């Protein structure tokens, strides 16, 4: 929010939508922006989607991929355990609740009598924003007009 207000004050952006809140400064007040657009294009290097715990949890919608429990208290599980040669890659890590992680241990899911709800894979790249911000942005109606649609990130119906 601070960055958006700063860019507005410098005249570098135009406001497309406002969120109804008021921003007050020492000398003035104005409606807070919800969506802004740069007046000119700024080239930046293409960021990489990092394989980290938060990105895996966001990709899996904070849902255990074995039992379906939805929670913010999930761990990361290697489908093929590292002790059996599994790699730390997008298609080998899933969100997992502690109970399922303990049950599976260092075994393959089939040996532990468990089945994955969906096959893990690397999410398609979301330009310029993190996966978590993108998924959070999908919940803001004003933003939906401007966010690209990635069908593999939409919730199953």
Average pLDDT rounded to a whole number, residues 2-15? 82
User: Do 57 and 36 fall into the same domain?
Assistant: no
DSSP string for residues in 26-68: SS-EEEEEEEEEESS------------HHHHHHHTTTB-TTT-
Establish if 119 belongs to a structural domain. Answer: no
Establish if 93 belongs to a structural domain. Answer: yes
The pLDDT value recorded for residue 1 is 66
Per-residue confidence at 150, pLDDT binned at 50, 70, 90? low
Per-residue confidence at 117, pLDDT binned at 50, 70, 90? very high
User: Do 35 and 3 fall into the same domain?
Assistant: yes
User: Do 67 and 32 fall into the same domain?
Assistant: no
Range of the structural domain that residue 81 is part of: 53-104
The pLDDT value recorded for residue 151 is 59
Establish if 120 belongs to a structural domain. Answer: no
The pLDDT value recorded for residue 110 is 95
Total domains in the fold of the chain: 2
**Span 59-85, pLDDT tens digits:** 898 999 999 999 989 999 999 999 999
Average pLDDT rounded to a whole number, residues 32-57? 82
């Amino acid at each position: 929010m601070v960055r958006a207000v700063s860019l507005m004050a410098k005249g570098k952006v135009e406001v497309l939508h406002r969120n109804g809140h008021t921003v007050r400064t020492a000398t003035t007040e104005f409606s807070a922006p919800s969506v802004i657009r740069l007046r000119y294009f700024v080239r930046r290097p293409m960021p990489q989607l990092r394989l980290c715990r938060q990105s895996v949890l966001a990709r899996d919608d904070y849902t255990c991929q074995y039992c379906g429990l939805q929670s913010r208290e999930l761990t990361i599980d290697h489908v093929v355990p590292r002790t059996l040669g599994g790699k730390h890659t997008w298609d080998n890590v899933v969100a997992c609740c502690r109970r399922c992680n303990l049950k599976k241990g260092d075994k393959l899911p089939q040996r532990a009598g468990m089945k994955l709800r969906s096959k893990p894979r690397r999410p398609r790249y979301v330009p310029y924003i993190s996966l978590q911000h993108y998924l959070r942005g999908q919940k803001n109606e004003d933003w939906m007009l401007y966010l690209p649609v990635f069908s593999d990130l939409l919730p199953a119906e």
